[in-house]
Structure 1
Amino acid sequence: MNKNAQRKARARRKIQAYYIVGGIVSLACILLLLHPDYAYLHVNGPLNTGHDDVACDDCHKPERGNLRQQLRANVQYLLGRRAKSLAVGYRAVNNYDCLHCHHRPNDRHPVSRFFAPRFREAREQVPAQYCVGCHLEHTGRRVTASMTYCKACHEKIVVKNDPITISHRQLARDGNWESCLACHDYHGNHKMEVRRDFDTRISRRELQAYFAGERDSPYSAQKFYKARDGS
């Protein structure tokens, strides 16, 4: 073998060695990140208020099939041979995962309601058909939606024999949409009496702190139903 061929062979072996070392290091890093003790290195952000004791696998469930099957299914989906794609690794968190702990028979605004055709335009403003539409996880907050989201459905509100000191219709005309949550608990799970004197409403600052997870509920400390244990 001449010197030129020897140099090429050495270069190929060196490149192969780099690939092998790189593969080993990459595999070691992946295995390290998958270890529960190092989960903090790759989480998307802080858990939302009230989820401090929730484990990752309480919400994040493995996709069905192994890695090869998942990749194959997605190739078939891209080729039009399969109706739905599959997630790789873990499937996306959905309403069923949230409702496993948070389902309540007294919910005034269940997410299932907002899949109805009459809410099509409202869904374009607020994706209320999904739990994460208002409670996006890994933000460190309790509620991630704007305090004005009631407008999406109630812009033309009219209440017969309106009991409050300033009518709902007038508040809507004035664009005072933050005031809705100052008197009404969206999901209706807090034991409380709805305020009729507008001047006694919950303050904007209190609501902002509640949404941000910086304080307990300004509605009431008592609830009709408590969240289930995720296990």
Structure 2
Amino acid sequence: MASKKRNPILWAIWLFASLGLAIWLSLQLVDETAPKTAFIPGPMTHGHHQIEMQCSVCHGDGFDSETVLQNACVDCHGEQLDEAQDSHPKSKFTDPRNADRLANVDARLCVSCHVEHRPELDVGMGVTLPMDMCAHCHEDIARDRPSHEGMGFDTCASAGCHNYHDNRALYEDFLLAHAGESWLKTPAQQAPRDLLARHLRDEDLVALMRGQGAAPADAATPEHWDGNAHADAGVACTACHGGGDDWTDSPEPQQCATCHESESEGFLQGRHGMRIAQGLSPMTPSQSVLNMHVEASHRELTCISCHGAHDFDTQKAAVDSCIGCHNDEHSNEYLRSPHHDLWKQEKRGELPPGSGVTCATCHMPREEKHGEIFVQHNQSLTMRPVEKMARPVCLQCHSLEFSLDALADPHLLENNFNGQPEKHVPSIDMAVDRDKSRDKKGPY
């Protein structure tokens, strides 16, 4: 029986479609400005999606080396790992005594646990993680520690439990030191910033602030200039805009880093500034995976997006600038929370400075380095795992037990901590019980 003849029209359609697809893909490769979305194997998590078209940031030029990927992870996150006092350092897995564990998971490489283009593995805040990761090495934990009997491996990374990269929150000395604390500390307030005093001690910075050269004769004093922080510090127009022939009406966003280096470094490491750090245009709310206000969709995120070009109102930046873009439940519920009530009382002068709780209080906490206090502008730093917020933020006002319970309660996270925790993390209880059992057994 003769085979049926294939329809030449269908063959022609298939041929032209294939040729058209090949041409389209080739043009994307040749045109440096064309989007390369067709070549992405899967969506990025919202931790990296802002730079998903900058493939070379992670893959380099060759796409052929796990070393390149590892170096890319460390280039961006290495400082955080160093500060975390890594509880699973590379040396633990290069130790010959642990060689058998590498057969299950090569934990020397970040991508063994954190993979991109697999958003279905996202466990929150843009972090991908296989939920059975801990089981590879700790499958006998219930036998070794009876207190863990009945606990699932998908609960290891719950708030107040284990943080793969930094287990200091579970050190028993730390837990015992905070046992029995009152849920609310007195006084509950932040330490004051010392930005101006820090700058005035730097003679070169003072000279820069005072400005060099002259502003154009038609350069008018901005409407909101009088009384703001820069005006009170004696900062001249030329400090930002340049003087004489170098005058520019619109300084580059990174001009602020000339005086605010630490703050700028933090901003560039967070999700708000990571595009600028990679040489891309500033991020806009329309590029976020969170709910944002439509009217703010195309607002570019730079220093002056929050602080203003000339008013530099830190109170506005601490709340209004955030709420002006963010339209998710957590942000909106803040306006109905006890934290916001405290902020309103502080603004009315009914409470001392630092008593109110703003968006920035929690997401841009004040840090002390070398005896100086500055604001950490990497707003992503304490987001994941969530208990990273306990030490630098929650413990300023609350007990450790209350902080861990609140952070472990997903309902409280959504309603911006309006109410008491419905869950209890037994970390401190377990430490106290172990301490009591040791006392009963004696020193030997």
CA contact (8 A) 2:93 2:107 kept: yes
Q: Distance between the aligned counterparts of 1:113 and 1:193, measured in 2?
A: 19
3-state SS, counterpart of residue 146 of structure 2: helix
Q: Which residue of 2 aligns with 1:179?
A: 155
Q: Which residue of 2 aligns with 1:220?
A: 388
Q: Give the C-alpha shift of residue 143 in structure 1.
A: 4.2
Q: Distance between the aligned counterparts of 1:52 and 1:60, measured in 2?
A: 15
**Matched ranges for 1:48-87 at <5 A:** 48-54=45-51, 55-63=54-62
Letter in 1 for 2:89: P
Deviations 1:21-56 (A, max 9, x none): x6x984663232453422112111122232133322
Q: Give the C-alpha shift of residue 144 in structure 1.
A: 3.8
Q: Give the C-alpha shift of residue 100 in structure 1.
A: 1.0
**Matched ranges for 1:96-111 at <5 A:** 96-103=71-78, 104-105=81-82, 106-111=85-90
Letter in 2 for 1:220: K
Distance 1:42 1:112, change over 3 A: farther
Letter in 1 for 2:76: C
3-state SS, counterpart of residue 387 of structure 2: coil
Q: Distance between the aligned counterparts of 2:170 and 2:147, measured in 1?
A: 20
Q: Give the C-alpha shift of residue 170 in structure 1.
A: 1.6
Deviations 1:48-103 (A, max 9, x none): 2321333222112123xxxxxxxxxxxxxxxxxxxxxxxxxx33343122111111
Q: Distance between the aligned counterparts of 1:136 and 1:34, measured in 2?
A: 28
3-state SS, counterpart of residue 155 of structure 2: helix
CA contact (8 A) 2:113 2:133 kept: no
CA contact (8 A) 1:125 1:152 kept: yes
Q: Distance between the aligned counterparts of 1:108 and 1:219, measured in 2?
A: 16
Q: Which residue of 2 aligns with 1:208?
A: none
RMSD: 4.0
In structure 2, runs of 5+ residues without a counterpart are: 1-14, 176-288, 291-329, 331-382, 393-444
Distance 1:37 1:125, change over 3 A: same
Q: Give the C-alpha shift of residue 178 in structure 1.
A: 3.0
Count of paired positions? 154
Q: Does residue 152 of the first structure (1) align with residue 125 of the second (2)?
A: no
Higher relative contact order (CA 8 A, sep 6+): 1
Q: Does residue 91 of the first structure (1) align with residue 64 of the second (2)?
A: yes
Letter in 2 for 1:149: M
Q: Which residue of 1 aligns with 2:146?
A: 170
Q: Does residue 124 of the first structure (1) align with residue 93 of the second (2)?
A: no
Q: Distance between the aligned counterparts of 2:144 and 2:34, measured in 1?
A: 52
Q: Give the C-alpha shift of residue 132 in structure 1.
A: 0.8
Q: Distance between the aligned counterparts of 2:60 and 2:391, measured in 1?
A: 29
Q: Which residue of 1 aligns with 2:25?
A: 29
Q: Distance between the aligned counterparts of 1:148 and 1:25, measured in 2?
A: 41
CA contact (8 A) 1:151 1:177 kept: yes
Q: Which residue of 1 aligns with 2:36?
A: 39
In structure 1, runs of 5+ residues without a counterpart are: 1-17, 64-89, 159-166, 197-212, 225-231
Distance 1:39 1:128, change over 3 A: same
